[in-house]
Each structure stands twice: as C-alpha cells, then as structure tokens.
Amino acid sequence: MLLQNKQVAIVGGGPGGLTLAKLLQLKGANVKVYERDLNKEARVQGSTLDLHDESGLAAIRKADLLNEFKNNFLPGADKTLILDENATVFFSDHETNREEDFGNEHFRPEIDRGALRKILLESLQPETVVWNRHFISMEKQNEGWLLHFKDSASVYADIVIASDGANSKIRPYITDSKAFYSGITMLEGNVYQSKDRTPYIHSLIDGGKIMAFGNAKNILLGQKGGGDLGFYVSFKTEEDWAVKIGLDFSDKTQIAEWFKKAYPEWSPVWYELFEKVTVPFIPRPIYCVPLDQTWEALPNLTMIGDAAHVMPPFAGEGANMAMLDALELSECLTADTFGTLQEAISFYETNMRERAAKAAQESLENGEKMHSKEALKTMLEFFAGE
C-alpha cells in the first residue's frame, strides 16, 4: 500500500475530514485529524444535511456506518413548503407518504450536523482527532511537511490533506487559484427551542423546510435536531455588504429594523424570527471556485471539500461532495493501481475537479433562479416536475 509506514495528517474535522480518516483507518493507514475546535463538545452550527445516495451515503456505506446513520437521521426533515413573502403556501409535500427508502437514488435523508459528526467521531480509533489545533502554516521537511499550530507544538506528516474549509490556509500551498464572489450574501440566524420561541413558524415548518421567495430575495428555513431552527436571509448585494452596512450583528433589534427596510414587502409574520433569534447573526458572502481551475498534483499534499471546491449551497452538494472526495481519495491512496502517491493524487484531483465544476455550475445557476423576480414561479415549476 502506498501509505505503508506513512503518517497522514488531515487538517480539519468536518464531515469530509472525519469520513476520510475513518475510510483510511479501515485500510490500516496511520491518520491524525487536527481540528481547531476546543473539543468534541463544541457546538456545530449550520443547517441539517441531506445526504445523496451516490455521494454522502455512498461514503457512509463504505465506512460501515449506515446502521448508525439510520439510527440518527431525521425522518420527515426533507418535507418542503414553498411560500411567498406573505407566508402564503403555494406548495407542500407534507401529506406525501414517505418511506425510508435507503438505496433509492432519489431518497435524500436529512441528518443534523452534530449527529453526523458524533457518528464519525465515535467510529474513529481513540485519539485520532487532536483538538484545539489552530493551523497556522507549514513547511517542507524531508519528504513531507512540518505543520505549525497556534500555541501548540509542531508536528511532522508524510502526507497532508487539507479539509479546512472555504478559507483554507493550506490551499495556497497547492494553487494560486482563488474563489470568486457569487453576488449573493446570506445572513444566518438560529432560534433555539423554536416550539416555544417562534410557535407560528414552528407549527408551519412542522419539522421540515421552508423556502420563501419574493422580490428577488428569499428566506430559507430548516428544522434542526433538538428542536432548534436555522434560517438564512438570502439576497444579492455587494461582496463587502457586511462591512459597509454598519450593523452590529449581535444586536437583534438592529437586524430586525434592517430586515423591515430591506424586505419592505415581506409580511410581519417573519418578524418573530428576528425577535427570538439567538445572536449573533452570521453574514456569509457566498463564493465559488473557478469552474476551470487546474494545478499540477503534488506527491504529498492535496485537499478535499470546500478547501478544494467551495460553491454556493443552492444545489445541496457541499457536504456530499466533501464526503465523496473522502471516498474517492481514500480509494486512490490505498489502491494498488498507482505506482506513486503523486499518480494517485493526480488521478483523484482530475476527477474531483471535473465533477465539482459541474456541481458548482448547477449551484450558480440555481442561485440566479432563486434570486430572480420569477423565483417563486420557477421553483414551483421545478417541484412540480415541469
């Protein structure tokens, strides 16, 4: 095996990094994951994930974790409502009979990010994840790399795999290619215990998702595990909107007033989200890597997930692509097909760039559709299969 007697360092403990660590350990590789979170109890933010049969679920099956996944996914969390700005329901599939049809390519079960992380963490060998390791830089040493962390000792690895997200500090060691701004910014908010705090919207969403469209803007909401609700106010604006607007994102009153002015046509129904939110809000300018990016493969360094191909979230492919990266890279690194690690990495990266470009293109196109004046009509036609 190409990884025999090699120490592998994965920087970043998200779904992609943890999946890769599990898959490599199943093949007998020596792996460490360096994660900046203080410990495993650090709260995992973000919406739930819907895993796709050909990518995220394929990796789960390969990792022998499908039973654990089935015990932790959120039945019914894929239920969808499409509303206009007045919260009028134009589409609902809540009455559709649902079956746990694992193996069906169209079945996309949802799982809370925290639950998925827990499944992956508990499947790893003890002390695989090294917590509180904030990556700063690295330098070549012998045939590998010396990694430097904030307030921690440096470590050596023969192979480094970047899984450190959209703002990856390792990506520049591989390519000068930079992500571009998509033109869309999302403002993320979270409501804890939404049943008590936002009762109307909680009853409306009923454990599923809401997509509301109006005036080339939208609000996307999803029920999380534990009774929490995550939502995103999504709109087209300048890249530096969060800086120029001069808002205190820790002040819910300021954000509520901004929403009323920026979304003047939207019903007061939505105001309870801003009144009961747990601050701070998080502004998220949405980026995408160039669709034609390329670089020459290195013999001891590569990347997966958002570090390699950050894209807009409007096709639901981010985490799925990261987990598929983990699956394909693990197979390349542990196969007998390649003569060298560089050949294995090159094969993986070529395929990864090609499929990521297709997913990114779809995400960009969906983002434009969802922020157009015809967004409601377009999305209704999509869900109707027209």
Is there a binding annotation on residue 306?
Answer: yes
- Closest by CA to 300, choosing from 161, 128, 123, is 161
Nearest-CA neighbor of 134 among 114, 159, 172, 164?
164
CB 298 within 8 A of CB 345: yes
User: Exposure string (b/e) for 260-285, b if CB count within 10 Å is 16 or more?
Assistant: eeebeebeebbebbbebbebebebbb
CA proximity to 131, closest of 46, 43, 33: 33
113 marked ligand binding residue: yes
* Residue 47 in tokens: 């919406």
Q: What are phi and psi of 267, to 5 degrees?
A: -65, 150
Known binder of ligand: residue 43? yes
**Is 61 known to sit in a ligand binding site?**
no
User: N- to C-terminal Cα distance for the chain?
Assistant: 49
Which DSSP symbol is given to 213?
A: E
CB-neighbour burial class of residue 357 (10 A; exposed 0-12, middle 13-18, buried 19+): middle
Q: Which residues are annotated as a binding site for FAD?
A: 50, 113, 306
Known binding-site positions: 43, 50, 113, 306
> What residue numbers does the annotated binding site for NADPH cover?
43
